[in-house]
Chains A and B, each alone.
Chain A
């Protein structure tokens, strides 16, 4: 890890600025649900050896797992070329982590560093990468160090940027966004960590957006439904948050969103896709299978089904597909 950390610090002048535009053309969060044959692609990439017998993450394997996931998603086996298709040139890319669960169950540092490395190799200037979350504590929980020096990858929270004075709304959600989302980032890649959630059932791609608003506690009623869907349907989120690289390398299948080591589990996987609804549906099913293996009730039986996923797919929100028939799940 030391080498990659050094890379982040020293790559400030090493990046090659690309002259061409992104060819992959991410959907800007606007899915064409009118196309009846349309399907959303979701990749689950796994590495059974990601954790050793003692449960320790082999950090050196994480970038290879990321490459595997991105190659499967883009169809391009060359990691750097694949990334060039994913991100726009000359723009600022935000990486929204999730460190709320503390050191035990937060987005893994190795994944953040791997994404930063590939972004820079794909031509994104270090200072045009912003790793962010609610505050310094959440970022430090991921093992990150705060940095606002624009010659390096920037790492800071909304406690530094502040929030917009003007609220934005959709449905039940009326929120003040972090200025990192509204003013710093042209595009955001979500890096959530898969967790059980005591109210929402599941927290992953869409629920991670609670960390971009000033008062997320106001969005927790009724199992966070329809608030999660409403929040993601606000144009600022819908259009800027365009890709998810979901950390399912470790997860808690019960007792979340806090860290409950007795319910810790290592799926050793990344779940990636543009369609946040399809990604969440896939992640939800992964958690359901694990709970069934452990003899635990379904989320429905436990009284906290993640209904916001279906809401996000409905005609009012059109954020993506939750119908398995319309999800092209590719497991590698």
Chain B
């Protein structure tokens, strides 16, 4: 059986198209790290998810954007949450270029009063915030007020996000 140059080239092109479609399909199946309402006990997702590409991150966090950009942020997704209808919080998921970028940002927030928590590859918590990294993702969850059960509630939500990454 003989193959002409033309049919060989056609075959190669077909393989390239199929491979390209497969890669494209993979890109579309990005994970959604935001737990839906009720997925974590007591927590309700109270806003749409907003996504900012690196070049637009300043619209969301102004001057803070620079440190994320220099650490290689690719995009940032954010959504509001409410715990038991009262405690408001925001979840930011920064997708960095690599794990080193996520580590760099997390370590910027390390201080003596940070509580080390078992979350992802590394996690820290304060009374009203939880930050952790997992692979190239850096997650920051912040409550807008201080309540006795805020930290526990935030940690539960953080575990919910971690499970989806």
Contacts and interface: CB of A to CB of B under 8 A. Distances in A.
A216 B63 CA distance: 9
Contact of A198 (B67, B111, B126, B146): B67
Given A258-B61, A262-B126, A103 B66 contact: no
B136 interface: no
A199 B66 contact: yes
A220 B62 CA distance: 9
Instruction: From A55, A102, A220, A255, name the one whose CB has the most chain B CB atoms within 10 angstroms.
Output: A102
Contacts, number: 59
Interface string A242-263: 0000000000000111111110
Contact of B127 (A200, A216, A220, A261): A261
A216 B90 CA distance: 24
B65 A261 contact: no
Contacts of B95: none
B137 interface: no
B142 A259 contact: yes
B109 interface: yes
Given A198-B67, A261-B142, A100 B127 contact: no
A199 B142 contact: no
Given A103-B88, A216-B58, A55 B146 contact: yes
Secondary structure class of chain A's binding surface, majority of residues:
loop
B144 to A, nearest CB: 5
A100 B57 CA distance: 12
A262 B63 contact: no
A224 B58 CA distance: 14
Contact of B64 (A103, A216, A258): A258
A104 B67 contact: no
Contacts of B88: 103
A255 B109 contact: yes
Given A104-B144, A262-B113, A262-B126, A257 B66 contact: no
A261 B126 contact: yes
A281 interface: no
B90 A102 contact: yes
B158 interface: no
A217 B65 contact: yes
B63 A220 contact: yes
A197 B63 contact: yes
Given A198-B64, A261-B128, 4 more contacts: A217-B65, A257-B61, A257-B63, A260-B142
Interface of B: 58, 61-67, 88, 90, 109, 111, 113-114, 126-129, 142-146
Q: Which 8 A-B pairs have the closest CB atoms?
A: A261-B128, A262-B126, A217-B58, A199-B63, A104-B144, A103-B144, A258-B64, A100-B62
